[in-house]
Amino acid sequence: MAKPLISSRAAQLAGSARVPGDKSISHRALMFGALAVGESTVTGLLEGDDVLRTAACMRALGAEVERLPDGSWRLYGRGVGGLTEPTDVLDMGNSGTGARLLMGLVASHPFTSFFTGDASLRSRPMRRVSDPLSRMGARFVSRDGGRLPMAVVGAERPTPITYELPVASAQVKSAILLAGLNTPGETTVIEREATRDHTELMLRNFGATVRVEAAEGGGLAITVTGYPELTGRAVVVPADPSSAAFPTVAALLVEGSEIRLPGVGINPLRAGLYQTLRDMGADIRFDNTRDQAGEPVADLVVRASRLKGIDVPAERAPSMIDEYPILAVAASFAEGTTRMSGLGELRVKESDRLAAMARGLAACGVAVEETQDTLIVHGTGRIPAGDATIATHFDHRIAMSFLVMGMASARPVAVDDAEAIDTSFPNFVALMNGLGGKIGAAE
């Protein structure tokens, strides 16, 4: 059932709010805990639909995964190579990360598993993982175009590969490295553009040997050594910088606002949005910067700011790939033009985000231009009209971006279906309204 919401102009945002745990790190904590020997605990896990699917799948693959009464999670893993054949289809819901990383994990286990997902996930490209994993010895039977549903016949005798990523994708990198855990010898991924390194950091933390070196010809070569003994760990998940992006931009746009967001991950390979907003004139402070189980975190303090349009360098895209929708909203309130390039990957996310943003912003009265991989927003420094109902295409980040748009536009902005927000930010509406937002059910 669709869940339409409407967001109206807010007076001023104030207060402190803890955004949910990092989605990327939450998926990995569950997967690595399921591979480790002994007990792992995870605190701050994102309990959104995407991550809960991964928890269910790790159980289906033989691990013990349990939520404790205090809200933390406890796992007893199977040891590397110890996953067992699932008795039913693995339904990854809306989650590209869950699907691609798990395909990597099972690709080097000698059993067959079946993957599916919702309509959005079933339309997304999977050859980017099945191609390299086939080279390691796994076999895949998929729908036309390499789409889910898909059967993965894991390799009996996996072979290590050296693989250069054709697209800058942490999901593909991670899938190969995870397959490399249950593969003899060394498996290497070469990336020409650095992508988020949560897999590398957390694998090391669990006891794997992961080497990161300069690659010949530029970029990085990341090598994992097969058959490590992973041991149970306590993982503390930072608040998600991709989720914090929504209250951050709302506070920048709503006059007189000042908010605090504690414990947000600021891994440099994830923090491109914050750099970009500062380049546009945003007042964002990182207080109390510290290290949390290998990941840098800080308390964010955000004050309403006048923004100016800028050219966002294409090289920055991997460090803020999920943040372009909300950046485009910020750009709509800025004075001057913001050019965002190198965005081809946005077309194959939970929806075609480039098209969804261009259409939605135009409906709100913003002057936008769209090419195959560029989004140009012409800000005037005046408040956009709003007064539109946006098609979200079951994409959480499109829904949240336009609800933020409504908080600062002249007239309300509605979204046709906000259901997908639960995949990554289940308490989004309560949190935003707690800071002073006015988001409610639409007719």
171 vs 267, which CB is nearer to ligand S3P? 171
Q: Residue 421 Cβ, how far from ligand S3P at the closest point, in Å?
A: 14
Q: Residue 313 Cβ, how far from ligand S3P at the closest point, in Å?
A: 17
| Contact with ligand S3P (CB under 6 A) among 78, 109, 124, 196 | 196
Is residue 403 within 8 Å of residue 415, measured between CB atoms?
A: yes
Is residue 196 within 8 Å of residue 318, measured between CB atoms?
A: yes
Q: Residue 349 Cβ, how far from ligand S3P at the closest point, in Å?
A: 6
Length of the chain: 443
Which residue, 297, 204, 303, is CA-closest to 250? 303
170 vs 404, which CB is nearer to ligand S3P? 170
Task: Write the Ramachandran bin of 165: left for phi over 0, alpha for psi from -120 to 50, otherwise beta.
Answer: beta
Q: Residue 389 Cβ, how far from ligand S3P at the closest point, in Å?
A: 26
Whole-angstrom Cα distance, residue 97 to residue 47? 15
**187 contacts ligand S3P (rule: CB under 6 A):** no
171 vs 182, which CB is nearer to ligand S3P? 171
Q: Residue 430 Cβ, how far from ligand S3P at the closest point, in Å?
A: 23
**Interface size with ligand S3P, residues (CB under 6 A):** 11
Binding residue ranges = 23-24, 28, 96, 124, 169, 171, 322, 349, 353, 397
Is residue 350 within 8 Å of residue 384, measured between CB atoms?
A: no
Could you give phi then psi for residue 344, rounded to 5 degrees? -50, -40
301 vs 328, which CB is nearer to ligand S3P? 328
Cis status, amide bond into 149, omega within 30 of 0 = yes
Is residue 396 within 8 Å of residue 421, measured between CB atoms?
A: yes
Binding residue ranges for 3-phosphoshikimate = 23-24, 28, 169, 171, 322, 349
Whole-angstrom Cα distance, residue 417 to residue 306? 31
* Tokens standing for residue 172: 């593909």
Task: Show contacts with ligand S3P in window 8-37 (CB under 6 A).
Answer: 24
91 vs 395, which CB is nearer to ligand S3P? 395
Q: Which of 49, 240, 322, 417 is catalytic?
A: 322
Task: Show contacts with ligand S3P in window 98-137 (CB under 6 A).
Answer: none
Which residue number is nearest to ligand S3P in terms of Cβ? 24
CA 186 to chain centre: 28
**169 contacts ligand S3P (rule: CB under 6 A):** yes
C-alpha distances in Å from residue 139, one per residue of 145, 150, 322: 15, 10, 30
Is residue 223 within 8 Å of residue 251, measured between CB atoms?
A: no
First to last CA, the chain: 14
State the pairing for strand pair 295-303/258-265.
antiparallel
169 vs 248, which CB is nearer to ligand S3P? 169
Task: Show contacts with ligand S3P in window 340-379 (CB under 6 A).
Answer: 345
Whole-angstrom Cα distance, residue 20 to residue 406? 22
Residues 6+ apart with CB under 8 A from 382: none
Judge whether 322 counts as a catalytic residue: yes
Whole-angstrom Cα distance, residue 250 to residue 150? 40
| Contact with ligand S3P (CB under 6 A) among 113, 174, 182, 223 | 174
Q: Residue 172 Cβ, how far from ligand S3P at the closest point, in Å?
A: 6
**Of the listed pieces 72-80, 169-177, 208-216, 354-362, which binds ligand S3P according to CB under 6 A?**
169-177
**321 contacts ligand S3P (rule: CB under 6 A):** yes
**97 contacts ligand S3P (rule: CB under 6 A):** yes
| Contact with ligand S3P (CB under 6 A) among 322, 395, 417, 419 | 322
Instruction: List the catalytic residues.
Output: 322
Q: Which residues sit at the interface with ligand S3P, rule CB under 6 A?
A: 24, 97, 169-171, 174, 195-196, 321-322, 345
